[in-house]
């Protein structure tokens, strides 16, 4: 049987940025995007920010055909924002999706480096651990929390990557949409759980070094309850992994087609 050809993918990359109380950042952020000299479509996902970020984004979008704003009813978790952005990118046929934060801890100047690194891999991850000076401007507590997260995901889940960061590129034309449906986390643990699913299903992952400046725009949105939930979720995933291993199950017991079997994922 001859299958209908999939509609062509959009060649312009999509840059997705979740926002919550980023009113003071988004205008400058859009100016930085425009100054990159790289064709980009921009998707902002705003969780009904009390400071009026959504209204500012609407004004910006009214002046740019390359920008879209999705408004959600309230703060629903950073993981669900990323899931919403990924689903939107699939629906609209984007080949490449880049995700990043809006507080300038992720420098837009790295976007061309992400695109350059994506040629022969499925995921590009911005790593804070490839260079010794990546976190030099962070305070001791933030450096310690980041290092602990890196060590735990490396030791307990067997991933040699910076798995807790949001600065990433996904080749959606190579990743099956169903993979993201395996991710249950709604908060910050989305990042290591999604990368774990990509890793265990054999997708090709590459890291590039990034340097994170001291926070100069806004305050951290991660609360202690978020960190505790992430630890709990990490323990749950590790327990499932060990249980499958003890029962002799194939690591892909919940199996998708491999990337080579289906490189044209599209919904």
Q: What pLDDT score does 88 carry?
A: 97
In whole angstroms, what is the distance from residue 205 CA to residue 120 CA?
Answer: 10
- Return the closest-CA partner of residue 136 out of 192, 220, 209, 195: 209
Residue ranges covered by each domain of the chain: 14-246
> Is the predicted pLDDT of residue 211 greater than 50, yes or no?
yes
Span 141-184, pLDDT tens digits: 666 676 777 788 888 888 899 998 999 999 999 999 999 999 98
Helices of type H across the chain: 23-34, 53-61, 78-91, 111-117, 140-157, 177-181, 190-200, 224-246
The per-residue pLDDT for 168 is: 98
Q: How many Cβ atoms are within 10 Å of 136's Cβ, its own excluded? A: 12
CB 36 within 8 A of CB 112: yes
Beta carbons of 33 and 64 less than 8 angstroms apart: no
Q: How far apart are CA 244 and CA 196, in angstroms?
A: 15
| CATH homologous superfamily for the domain 14-246 | Spore Coat Polysaccharide Biosynthesis Protein SpsA; Chain A (3.90.550.10)
Question: What sign has the CA pseudo-torsion 70, 213, 188, 156?
Answer: positive
CA dihedral 82, 88, 91, 97 (to 10 degrees): -60
What's the CA dihedral at 51, 140, 196, 267 to 10 degrees?
A: 20
34-38, 80-84, 127-131: range with lowest mean pLDDT: 127-131
- Per-residue pLDDT tens digits for 193-205: 999 999 999 999 9
Compute the mean pLDDT over every residue in the chain, rounded to the nearest whole number.
82
């Amino acid at each position: 049987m001859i299958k209908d050809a999939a509609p062509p993918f959009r060649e312009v990359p999509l840059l997705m940025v979740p926002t919550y109380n980023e009113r003071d950042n988004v205008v400058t952020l859009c100016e930085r995007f425009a100054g990159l000299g790289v064709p980009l479509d921009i998707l902002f996902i705003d969780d009904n920010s009390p400071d009026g970020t959504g209204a500012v984004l609407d004004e910006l979008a009214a002046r740019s055909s390359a920008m879209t704003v999705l408004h959600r009813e309230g703060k629903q978790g950073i993981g669900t924002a990323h899931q919403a952005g990924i689903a939107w990118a699939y629906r609209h046929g984007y080949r490449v999706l880049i995700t990043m934060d809006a507080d300038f801890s992720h420098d837009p100047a790295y976007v061309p480096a992400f695109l350059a690194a994506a040629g022969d891999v499925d995921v590009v991850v911005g790593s804070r651990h490839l260079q010794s000076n990546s976190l030099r401007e962070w305070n001791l507590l933030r450096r310690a929390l980041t290092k602990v997260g890196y060590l735990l995901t490396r030791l307990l889940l067997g991933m040699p990557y910076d798995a807790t960061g949001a600065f990433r590129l996904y080749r959606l034309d190579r990743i099956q949409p169903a993979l993201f449906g395996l991710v249950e986390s709604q908060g910050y643990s989305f990042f290591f759980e999604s990368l774990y699913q990509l890793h265990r299903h054999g997708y090709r992952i590459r890291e590039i070094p990034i340097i994170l400046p001291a926070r100069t725009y806004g305050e951290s949105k991660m609360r202690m309850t978020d960190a505790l939930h992430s630890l709990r979720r990490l323990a749950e995933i590790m327990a499932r992994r060990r249980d499958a291993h003890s029962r002799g199950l194939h690591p892909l017991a919940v199996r998708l087609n491999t990337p080579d079997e289906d490189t044209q994922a599209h919904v």
